[in-house]
Amino acid sequence: MKDKDYFNEVAEQWDSLVTHDAGKIDAILDLVQIPAGGKVLDVGTGTGVMIPHLCSRIGPEGEITAVDEAVKMIAVAKRKYTYHNVRFIVGDVLEVPLPTAYFDCIMCYSMFPHFKNKKAAVTKLAAYLKKGGSFVVAHSQSREDINNLHQNKGGPVKKDRLPPPDVFRNYFGAAGLEMSVEIDNDQMFVVIGRKA
């Protein structure tokens, strides 16, 4: 079973299985400082957890491109959210054709461990950022909790790990990003790279 198959299998129950702290999400977005009217790539959108939070930041003039390879996750997100400025795409974000130097923010919320080649993923996605744009990897749980969760879940996500900030510094540097935020504590994990 692949990650995609696992997430398709649990899509309809996902929102009752997984909870996200809205206060922590808002705190994360305060760190990002997405401009009103901004363009956001929501990577691994799942059931759209970030969509209302992002929409409140970008306003009606902004836009969100929400991508997930699990078609059933996207189906749930589409049922929940009908914002005029959100475009849903089913597919692997590393294979979907997207415009370069277009987005103000690339948001990888609660999904980054599932990339198999993490360094290559950062490099590929960073090309879609405008100059000054933000590449965000965030979880509203600790890195230890996330890694233990995947280890204990087993199956296709058993080996999916969230690396420590120093590894992200390396990924970001190779992709032309400068680390601007680094939080790795028992409450959350947030790293933000800005495109020079």
CA distance 88 to 19: 22
Contact 80, 73 (CB under 8 A): no
Place of tokens 């970008």: 58
* H/E stretch holding 77: helix 71-80
**What average pLDDT does range 151-168 have in this prediction?**
87
Domain count across the chain: 1
Comparing CA positions, the residue from 2, 24, 11, 17 lying closest to residue 139 is: 24
**What average pLDDT does range 124-141 have in this prediction?**
97
pLDDT over 70 (residue 48): yes
Quote the tokens at residue 76.
Answer: 């749930």
Over the chain, what is the mean pLDDT? 93
pLDDT over 90 (residue 16): no
CATH number at residue 180: 3.40.50.150
pLDDT of residue 4: 80
pLDDT tier for residue 1 given thresholds of 50, 70 and 90: low
Which residues neighbour 118 within 8 Å (Cβ) at sequence distance 6 or greater?
112, 163, 171
Q: Which domain holds residue 127?
A: 3-195
Contact 19, 129 (CB under 8 A): no
pLDDT tier for residue 19 given thresholds of 50, 70 and 90: confident
